[in-house]
Structure 1
Amino acid sequence: MTSTLYKQLESYKTTKAILDNLEDMFGGQATLARQSAITSLMNAQQKPITSVKDHMITLMGYFPEAANNEANLDQNSQIEMVFNSLSKDFASFRAAYNLGNKNLTLT
């Protein structure tokens, strides 16, 4: 803990008061990081010049970032985000996947 932060917190009498203050100080940053990670996932679109492999590597970097920032994305949500990010060239692949996995409710 830096000396500046220590000095700010030394007047607090209980651990709860210190934790509450730290949450106030840093909680907003965690929310912002989570929103940023999810926004990156939702805005990711495969570009025509990008291979599927490179695009998937990019997405696979975003999913752990979101998880590390406490975004709870279940498997179906992750699959949906991947399909939504692929170019229109993969529409038939998505349709075939949906037919083979009727228990998933992908749109």
Structure 2
Amino acid sequence: MLNMRCLSIVFDLDETLIVANTMRSFEDRIEVLTGWIGQESDPVHISGMTSELKRYVEDPVLLKQYDENDVVTDSGQTYNVKLEDVPVNATGNECVQRPVIRLPRKR
């Protein structure tokens, strides 16, 4: 289902809710935000929407890098995939490894 881009939300292995975006949904959101920014007069709202727009522009680039190379470059720093153990069930007695890149939180 993920490869066909039919899901709008996904629960990760540890039951974390993940919002699933397609490249088209990124493009649609960028278009909407750009329109809203052009109509907004409040500098605080403009700042918030501009920050969100920046993330919607940067995230697909990071995802494409990850998909193609299993690495991402963010702010000049390269981050490699690390394998993390994830419990398969609630008892935690069986684990699988998954490739993950964790970026530091942006301020």
Structure that is richer in helix per residue: 1
Query: What TM-score results when the alignment is normalised by the length of structure 2?
Result: 0.32
Between the two structures, name the one with larger relative contact order (CA 8 Å, sep ≥ 6). Answer: 1
Larger Rg, first or second structure (1 or 2):
1
TM-score by length of 1: 0.32
The structure with the largest strand share of the pair is 2
